[in-house]
Amino acid sequence: MNKVIHTDKAPAAVGPYSQAILAGNTLYVSGQIPLNPETGAIEATDITGQAHQSLTNIKNILEAAGFSLNDVVKTTCLLADVNDFAAFNAVYAEYFSENKPARACFGGNDIPKGALVEVEVIAVK
C-alpha cells in the first residue's frame, strides 16, 4: 500500500497533491519550488538561492521518509530560464556530489508562483 509522506520542514502542497508518495521501496517526491516552509514565500530572488531552497526542501522530504540524497536515482529539473543552467548546476552539484542521479533539465518553463526553478526526484532504497 502506498504511504503519503509529509513534513513541516518542506512547504505544504500548493495544489491537490502530496509532498511525496512511498510505493514499496520507491519514493516519488513532487516538484519542489523554492518556498520557505516557515513563511510559505519565495524569498530568494536569484537562481542560486532558489535552487538551494528547492533542493533543501527535497532533502527534508527525503529525510522525513527515511531516505537521503544518496538514494535519489532520477531528477527532473525545470528552469524558468535556460540561461540559468550553469548557475543551477553549481548548486545542484553541492547536493548530488557522491551518487549523481540520472537527470532531465528543461528551460523556458512557466513555473508556479513565478519561481525560477522546480525540482522533483525519485529515490529507491
Q: What is the pTM of this model?
A: 0.96
Kindly list the domain boundaries of the chain, sorted by start residue. 3-124
- The confidence band for 15, taking pLDDT boundaries of 50, 70 and 90, is confident
In the predicted model, is pLDDT for residue 109 greater than 90?
Answer: no
CA–CA separation, 66 and 73 (whole Å) = 15
CA–CA separation, 108 and 94 (whole Å) = 24
CA–CA separation, 51 and 115 (whole Å) = 10
CATH class for domain 3-124? alpha beta
Question: What pLDDT score was predicted for residue 95?
Answer: 98
Q: What are phi and psi of 76, to 5 degrees?
A: -125, 125
The single-letter DSSP state of residue 36 is: -
**Residues known to be catalytic:** 105
Cell matching residue 1: 500500500
Which residues are paired to 42 by β-bridges? 35
